[in-house]
Structure formats: C-alpha cells, structure tokens
Chains A and B, each alone.
Chain A
Amino acid sequence: MSTPYAKLPAWADYGLIPLINLSVAFIVAGFVVLLVGENPLRAAVILVEGAFGKGTGIAFTLFYATTFIFTGLSVAVAAHCSLFNIGTEGQAYIGGLGIALVCLSFDSTLPWWVIFPMAIVAAAAFGALWGLIPAYLQAKRGSHIVITTIMFNFIAASVMVYLLVGALKPAGSQAPQTRNFLAGAELPKLNWIIELFGAKIRSAPLNICFLLALVMAFLVWLLIWRTRLGYEMRTYGHSPKAARYAGISETRIIITAMMISGALAGMMALNPVMGDQHNVAIDFVSGAGYVGIAVALMGRLHPVGIVLAAILFGMLYQGGAELAFEMPAISRDMIVIIQGLVILFAGALEHMFRPYIQTLFASFSPKSVGMQAVKGTGA
C-alpha cells in the first residue's frame, strides 16, 4: 500500500499557492510600513512602478534577476541531488576571481567576444572547484555539506580580501578592488531591447548575461529531466538506497552535482563583474547566493519557476531601492525586512497554507484533489 496523500491540481500548486504566499508577505509588510507611519498602498505603488514603470527600472530589475537566476539554478541543481548547497555565495565570489584573472590578462589584447567565453569557462571552473572541496569532504568523509559550504563562504571571503588588498590591487590604489577592465572585457548592454518597446533608458547595467542566464535555465532543465546524469542525480536525491541499488556511485554523483552547482554559482559573477562594475571589488556578491536559496525554493526547483522567482526578487531589489529613495521613512533596512518577509512566506513557510487549501478544494470539488497525478491519463 502506498500512503495516500492528496494532491492539488497543477494550477493551484504552481499558481495559487505562491500567489497566496506572496499576498500574505505583502500584507504583513504593509503592516510594517504602516508602523513607520507611511501609506502601504502608496509604498506598493512606488515599489512596482520603480521596478516596472520605466525602461530604466525594467532594465535594473532584469539585471538583478540575472544574478538571481544563476544562484537559484545553482541551489536547485544541488537540491535535486538532495544536497543543500549554502555555498553559492562563496562559489560566486571565487568565480569572480577566475573572471578577474582572465580579464586582467587579456583585456588589452582581445575583443569581448573572445574574452567572454574564456571568462565563462574560468568563472565556472573556479566556482566548480569551490564546490568540489565540500563535495569531496561530504562524499568521502561524511562532513555535512551544509556546514562545510557555510565555512567555505567565510574562507572565500577571506581569500578574496587577501587578494584584493594584495596581489590584485593596482599599486598605489587605496580601494580594495582590481583595476578597472578595459573595453575588451566589457559586455554589451541589452538596453536596446527594452528601447525597442519605446521605453527610454538613461543608463542601466542590463547586459547579455541575461541571455546567458536564460540559456543556462534551459540547459539545467535539459540536464535534470533529460539526461542520464540528471536521472542519476534525481535518483540519489530521492533515495540514496535506490541509487546504490541502481549502481550509481555516491561519491561520483555528489561531486558532479556540487561541481555543476558551483559552476552555475561562479557564472553569476559574470553579470556584475563584466556587465556592470568592470572590476572585481570586495563583497561584490553581497548576499545574492543566499537569495538564490529563496529563489530556488520559491521556484519549486524548476528552471521556469526559478526565472519567475528571480524576476520577482529583482523587482524587490530595484523597486525597493526606489522606495527607499522616495519614502525617507522607509530605510534600506526596511526593504531588507520586506524581502525577508517574502523569503519567509514564499520559501520557508511555503507549505503553511497548503493544508487549508487542500481541505478547501476537497470540500468544494473532491474530484480535483488527486487529479494532478494522473493528468493526461488514458487509463
């Protein structure tokens, strides 16, 4: 006998529940805004308009989203293999080191379209390497990946500080960052796409990394659901015993999954480093790795969901900045609280309302509960 459990129709599972979670997050956030004496409705309008109202806003929103797509995918790939990679932050940071090495070496001699592929490889390789060590320790020594990846975030931070105030810093400079890259290491902007739709853009960092992120989302989908490796990762993710039975090597699959996850994390660095700052500065990741966890959870570990969740978080970042600017009572920290609420309700408490909704569905139309599983049946 299999344990019976009720399932919701797909549209409720993927549409209604995230919507309810989000609404609750915004309602609670609204109370917080009310507490500091501002009008929550006006705040919401500013937030949304700041993110999508003008061309520049949209470009910024998508720029942030690009970063979160990479980190979200990184977390999701590991999660499909039941590995909780909290190290996306550090892997992205170290990925930046790889990019710095490539760009600093070649930016005076090669054009962007030669440097870009090299930088992709370097970013992915450095990130993968930073994922490999915790993976090896987990597979061979049983050190828990959550602990080791957190520790590796700190190690990454220290290594980068050491390099950015030392070897990578141009002589005579006071700032803990590399010199600015030359034009050869600057990525083309994508703002013209938004301008095609008639919107005006002053200056925004949206660049071709956004397209790369979408391609990676597709490739991750392909990897997880259409390749032998993805099949093995999912098998291990659902049941290590079944993986052993199927002849899937635990060491190999853990290491491979973590390296892919690390590579995706490393590639995140391309967006701010080559697309925007044109240098590697201290703390340039600034929490995007952790946001990736929320994005992956909210996107239900599916690339399409991750892209949508990343855009939502991009909106919170961009609209939030706008809000802090327009409503002085709402400080930068308040924006963090609002983002935190979204993470809380959409990520951590994802299942809080599910039982009630299931009961509701059950009493309205019992047939719909359980439908999802046999959708498209002819049996």
Chain B
Amino acid sequence: MAQAAIELIGINKSFGAVRANRDINLQVARGTIHGIVGENGAGKSTLMSILYGFYQADSGEIHVGGKPASIHTSNDAIALGIGMVHQHFMLVDNFTVLENIILGAETDALLKSSIAKARSELDRLEREYGLEVDPDAVIEELPVGLQQRVEILKALYRGAEILILDEPTGVLTPAEADHLFRILKQLKEQGKTIVLITHKLREIMAITDTVSVMRQGTMVATRVTKETTVGELAELMVGRRVLLRVEKGESEAGAIKLSVKNLTVKDSRGVTMVDNVSFDVRGGEIVGIAGVAGNGQSELLEAISGIRHAVSGEVTLDGKPIDLTGKADPGELRDRGLAHVPEDRHHVGLVLAFEENENSILGYHDDERYLKGPFLNVDAIMADAKEKIEKYDIRPGNPRLRTANFSGGNQQKIVLAREMEQDPGVLIVGQPTRGVDVGAIEFIHKRLIAMRDQGKAVLVVSVELDEIRSLSDRILVMFAGRVVGERGPDATEGELGLLMAGVEHQEAAQ
C-alpha cells in the first residue's frame, strides 16, 4: 500500500448507551478514493465527524500523513489539510459564491485584498479541477449540484489534501452525480485523497479504489473495489442476504381512490411548475412518478397534500372533490385518509429539535388517541411511539432521544412509521429511500408493497429510476411540469431515461 494519508487506530465513541464507533481501524492510502458503506446508524458520519473535529473520540489515535494528530476542532482538521463537504451545505444563502468561499478565511477588514486574492485563486482551482461556477452568482439561485461544487471549492481553497464527502449524491440528479464523479476522479489524479460515504453501492463500484464496510459501530471488512460485488457488500453491511429488488405479485387494481385532473401549480415566483397534469391512482396499485429532480414532482406532491395551493385543476379523494385552489388544509386531507411522506424530512416531515415520540404524532396530534381533553396523553403517545419503534426497527429504540440525533435512515423510518400506521386509504411518498441503507430500502419497499396489497392507493415520487422500476405498477414520467409518458413496470431504463430527458416530448412537439 502507498503511504497512508489517514490512519485511524482503535477509535471508540459512545453517546450515552449508544456505542457509535467501537475499536475502529482504518487506513486510507494517499491519492485514492476510499468508500465507506454501512447501515443507517452504523457510525459512518460519527467516524468522519471525529476525523473532522466535530466530536472527540473517547479513545484511539488519528494519524494524518504518517504523523499523530490531535484534532479538537474543525480548524485543527483544516490546518491538517482535511476538508469536509456536508450533506446539508453550510453556505450562506444570500451571499455570492466568492463571499462564501472567503468566509472564515478573510485576511483583512475591508476584504478588498481578500476578494482579489480569492478571485484569482478560485479561477486557478476552477481551471485545474474543472469545477466551473460563476464566482458572482448568489448561492440561493444555484441548483444543488453547483452549491455542492462551491462546498468542494471552499475546502480546496482552504488547502484540503483530504476530502470527506458524506452522502454527496443524495440530493443530486443523476447528471449532476456523474459530473461530481468526474470531478472526484480529477481530484484523485492530482493526488488528493477522498473518503466517500454513500448508500448507493453502484457509486461505490463505479468510483472507489477501496471500500470499507461498517456494521453497528464496528468496521467489519475492507475490500479492494475491483475484487468485490454489490451483493457481497450488501451482505457484509446487513449481515444477511439482501433482496436488492423486492418480489411482488400482480397488482389487483380496484376503484379510483385519487384522481387528478388538469392540475396546474405555480411556484412563489409565478413560474408554472406543474402544467395541466392528469392521472388516477387506484386502490391496490403503486403509481410511480419518475423524472429528473426539479421537473415539477415536488410541487405536484405538495399540491395534492394541501401544502401548496394549486392554480387550477380538480382533485378527488375517494370520489369526493378536494378544494386545492382555495384553502386545502393538510390536516383535513389527513382526516380524509390521505397520508403524506414528504421529500424533505428535515424541515417538513419532522421537527428535528423534538423528541422522537413528539414527531411520531406530528400531523395526528389532534387525534383523540393522543389527547386527554386539551392535554397531550403522554402515556399513550409514548406507548404508541414504542410500538412503532419496535415494528419499524427504528434505532436507537429510545423515544425520548432528540430526532436530530437519529441517523438519516432512521429519521426516514420515523416518518414512514407515522404515516403508514395511520392506515390511510391513499399514501403519497416523496423519495421514500433517500439516504436509506440497502437493508432498510428492502424493508420500506416491502411495506409499500404490503400497503398496495391491502388495497391502498400508493403514489411514489422518486429520482431513483431503480426504485421506480422495482416498485411501480405504472410509471408516469414528468418533464418540465408535464406528464410526458406512461409506461409499465417492464419499461427499460433507456426508454425511461429518454422520456425523462424530454426527448420524445420535444419530438412530439415538433
């Protein structure tokens, strides 16, 4: 092995009774891309946070570039040439790219020379690594893919030789993800070392040189990527064989439960995001909506669930109309049997500062079961939360834990458990498995199919084509706010890909 850029020896870290990392050893060779995979809550983010100085290990040693290092804050890590790209970008939304990049690295009070220096340095970095981005663009106007690029530039600007990326592709479109990987390869060729955490095993196979697998806080294996397979990695992660594609029988579609006619939705700036969309979802079927992120799927879900007002259109739930253009109230729709797992669990589906049990009633908090007059029935809420934790294997199984301290996949399970256990007639789900490990994906898919088999109508929006194809009985493809095609579950990836890129749509328009 080449010289190790990072070496972790015997790292331990506990949070109270939860042992997030136990006796972890890891070596990452200089100039390689090293993948880390593992179940939700396996301790990947914790390990990287220790390396980046967010947390202190209870015991263990860190060596950087062969020398023992003591990392107490992220400034220590930055000084050692370690950079981190956070999944939730730490950028100031209304600053320009340039301003964000110098933030915290300013050298003078008036910023004049800092800015000039940063501009030329940025220019060099952009050319060297193919990371084009307009230095004067305002962050909030950039798509996520570019925002992420700014995060990478920020790390490189601070002299990062080692770059940690924690689930970088969760929020990216496939094209953006491809571009990111080209950038990472380029960085590697320039001698940088990269640690990549992801749940997408295909990405691991495509880009890493070596890969380590974590399970319940321990490092269970390290493999040379070329000598392993997706199946082996999945099995190492979960400790059993995983069905990468859940079996499902034929659907027995019943009556129409959700019907959408000529729905048009505009965003806050008045841009039409959903353009005259019509479709039905019957009981006993899963309808999947495929499409590149940003083509109106999010707005469609928000409109149907009553979060966003529609401009025009008719939607009926169980044959009865719902007024989406006036005051559709998500609470009322929920009472009528429409459950919604939102795409953005951090801001919409959960209150991260709440305890787990408080989140397990969000939206159903006015249900008599959870109340005693105007008071919350704390005992009933706790009992109910414990039941869901049991049934959905939410870890750690502590309903008093702050929701922010659950790993991403377990947070998603909290939302799913809440919405599915209400026994709704119609379930709409945005990005059911974003940031979720393979074992949990299998579990969630099984649950969704079980709901279908009980005769529920399920509408799934996902940017993961694999997920859409393995779940859906019918696939609708959205492009530029319109439904541009409907296909069966046996549609090929290429066929759907063309529809998603709007190719047929444009041909038809000509």
- A interface list, Cβ under 8 A from B: 1-6, 222, 226-229, 231-232, 234-235, 238-239, 241-242, 244-249, 359, 362-363, 366-367, 369-371, 373-379
Contact = CB atoms under 8 A, between A and B. Distances in A.
A2 B72 contact: no
A241 B17 contact: no
B221 interface: no
Contacts of A245: 305, 307, 330, 340, 342, 348-349, 362-363
A242 B347 contact: yes
Given A228-B375, A241-B347, A362-B56, A246 B18 contact: no
Interface centre among A229, A241, A371 (most CB of B within 10 A): A241
A232 B374 CA distance: 12
Interface centre among B13, B49, B350, B351 (most CB of A within 10 A): B351
Nearest to A375: B16
A371 B16 contact: yes
A300 B182 CA distance: 48
Contacts of A229: 374
A369 B55 CA distance: 8
B163 to A, nearest CB: 16
B222 interface: no
B405 A2 contact: yes
Interface string B84-113: 001110000000000000000000000000
B404 A239 contact: no
Contacts of B46: 4
B73 to A, nearest CB: 7
B267 interface: no
Interface stretch (B24-32, B145-153, B154-162, B393-401): B393-401
Contacts of A373: 15-16, 401-402, 405
8 contacts: A4-B46, A239-B352, A241-B344, A244-B330, A245-B349, A245-B362, A366-B13, A377-B398
Contact of B365 (A231, A370, A376, A377): A231
Given A363-B56, A371-B16, 19 more contacts: A1-B166, A2-B411, A3-B86, A4-B46, A222-B375, A226-B376, A227-B374, A228-B375, A228-B376, A241-B348, A242-B347, A245-B363, A247-B329, A247-B330, A363-B72, A374-B15, A374-B18, A377-B17, A377-B396
Given A245-B363, A374-B398, A377-B400, A367 B17 contact: no
Interface in B304-355: 305-307, 329-332, 334, 340, 342, 344, 347-354
B12 to A, nearest CB: 9
The prevalent SS among residues of B at the interface is loop
A367 B58 contact: yes
Nearest to A363: B72
B369 to A, nearest CB: 12
Contacts of B352: 2, 238-239
B16 A246 contact: no
A367 B332 CA distance: 46
Interface string B57-95: 110000000000000110000000000001110000000
Interface in B350-403: 350-354, 358, 362-363, 365-366, 371, 374-376, 378, 395-398, 400-402
Contacts of A359: 72-73
A2 B350 CA distance: 12
A377 B16 contact: yes
A235 B398 contact: no
Given A2-B405, A2-B411, A226-B375, A235 B16 contact: no
A2 B401 CA distance: 14
Nearest to B397: A379
A227 B373 CA distance: 9
A247 B334 contact: yes
A248 B330 CA distance: 8
A239 B54 contact: no
A1 B401 contact: no
B14 A367 contact: yes
A283 B201 CA distance: 69
B288 interface: no
B426 to A, nearest CB: 16
Given A228-B374, A242-B351, A247-B363, A2 B408 contact: yes
B283 interface: no
B208 interface: no
A247 B347 contact: no
Given A247-B334, A374-B17, A239 B347 contact: yes
B153 to A, nearest CB: 20
Contacts of A379: 17-18, 395-398, 401
B55 A377 contact: no
B88 A3 contact: yes
Contacts of A248: 331
Contact of A238 (B88, B305, B353, B435): B353
Contacts of B366: 228, 247
Given A377-B17, A377-B401, A246 B376 contact: no
A246 B132 CA distance: 40
Nearest to B358: A231
B407 interface: yes
Contacts of A235: 351, 354, 362
A249 B331 CA distance: 9
